Amino acid sequence: MIGHLEGRSATIFADYQGQTASASVSVASDDRRLGYALADQPAAAGPYSPDATYLYNSSGGAIQVTRASTGVYSVTFAGLGRPAGGRDNVLVTGYGTPGVYCKVSGVATNPLPGWSSIGSDLVVPVACYAGDGTSTDSRFSILMIGDRPFGASTPEGFALTFGDTGAVNLDTTVTARNSTGGHVEYGRAAEGQFAMSFPGLGKASAGMPVAIEVSSASGSPRKCRVIAVDVPNDGVGIQCTRPVGGGLGDSPFTLLWLTRGRPGLRFGFAWANNQANTTGYIPVPDFAFSSSGVAITPRRTGTGQYVAVFAGLGRPAGRMENVQLSCVGRRKPVGLQHHVVGQHGSERPFCYGRMLRPYGSAG
């Protein structure tokens, strides 16, 4: 069904074998929410306001971080609560401490993982873990987007899964979206192995680079990564692992498929597919883009550490920016983590393993 007249409602009917069901559906205004922050005070009980250099809230409201206990935080995006008809996605990346990773967590009052729209605010639970799965304090980078922050015509998809052991369509959840109007399909193939499909999104994304971000979203220390992307067939393969031993383990996850950023503003992403290169290389064109039009050059700087230079995307004075990382590829030995340890000018995200890096910006 397609919404047309903002502020109006219509009744939708379904007829099947003599039975009729109906529901009233209203048409709401746009949802271009965007917010991000770099939570830079891991030990502060808070609530505190993170570094303004790496903070943006499209509502103009505050962003505050509160620490509940070791490695357990909540982030409140004031004014970014979900509007009628709105949908949202959140990604979290650990920052700064080698071997530490952070993710969207759950809250005790809600059996499902993920974030909540509370009043006019969006509240995101976050948890950080050391490589052995124990809770630990850490800085982290967080990004939230609404239904269509990059424009109504921009191919985009996202989903938050809920640990189903079968296959489900997530279309009507407020945390899933397929910009083409197709289903948002989720399937579990085996323990820790999942597939997502966004029918129509591959075709809509044809001819433009695609970025896929995946992160576990649960109250456990399990981790998730992208293991396969099949753009022509709208598909993404996801694998989740246990922190100790690296064995496969089920986990809800959050996923974002995007193709570009806000019109006229800095944006870049890359899949750094060469783990061994120490001199710099051109990443796979199908999964790399820079609004500067200049090359993106990842390279390995040490064991499990990498840098990616987005030439021409240095942060202008007074502007803000956000960086997210997601590991790509099959499970690695214990100690494989993803995190950012630097964020200055146009370079210095680091990651254990290969990475895919969308680069959101407010300007």
Partner 1 sequence: MSRPFVAVLLAFGVAAGGCSKIVESVVGANPLSIVVPTAILADDTVQAQAISTHKNGNLETVSATWRSSDASVISIDDRAA
Considering only 54, 77, 140, 162, the residue that binds partner 1 (CB under 8 A) is 162
* 191 contacts partner 1 (rule: CB under 8 A): no
Q: How many other C-beta atoms are found inside a 10 Å radius of the C-beta of residue 101?
A: 30
Residue in 234, 238, 262, 236 with CA at minimum distance from that of residue 248: 238
Considering only 62, 168, 294, 295, the residue that binds partner 1 (CB under 8 A) is 168
Q: Stretches 33-41, 99-107, 217-225, 228-236: which one binds partner 1 (CB under 8 A)?
A: 228-236
* 60 contacts partner 1 (rule: CB under 8 A): no
Please, what is the minimum distance in Å from the beta carbon of residue 153 to partner 1?
9
Considering only 128, 170, 214, 217, the residue that binds partner 1 (CB under 8 A) is 170
Residues 265-324 that bind partner 1 (CB under 8 A): none
What tokens does 64 get?
A: 């505050």
Considering only 110, 134, 169, 301, the residue that binds partner 1 (CB under 8 A) is 169
Amino acid of residue 335? G
| Cβ atoms of 307 and 299 closer than 8 Å | yes
What residues contact residue 139 under an 8 Å CB cut-off, 6+ apart?
38, 39, 40, 41, 42, 94, 95, 96, 97
Q: Mark 100-139 with x for binding to partner 1 (rule: CB under 8 A) and - for no binding.
A: ------------x---------------------------
* 15 contacts partner 1 (rule: CB under 8 A): yes
For 13, list phi and psi in degrees, rounded to 5.
-115, 145
Looking at the DSSP bridge assignments, the partners of residue 89 are 145
Residues 331-360 that bind partner 1 (CB under 8 A): none
- Which C-beta is closer to partner 1: that of 133 or that of 187? 187
Q: b/e string for 240-265 if b means 16 or more Cβ within 10 A?
A: bbbbeeeeebbbbbbbbbbbbbbeee
Q: Stretches 6-14, 48-56, 57-65, 331-339: which one binds partner 1 (CB under 8 A)?
A: 6-14
Q: Whole-angstrom Cα distance, residue 20 to residue 324?
A: 46
- Which C-beta is closer to partner 1: that of 31 or that of 137? 31
What is the separation of C-alpha 6 from the centre of its chain, rounded to a whole number of angstroms? 29
Considering only 41, 48, 62, 85, the residue that binds partner 1 (CB under 8 A) is 85
Considering only 52, 167, 208, 282, the residue that binds partner 1 (CB under 8 A) is 167
* 206 contacts partner 1 (rule: CB under 8 A): no
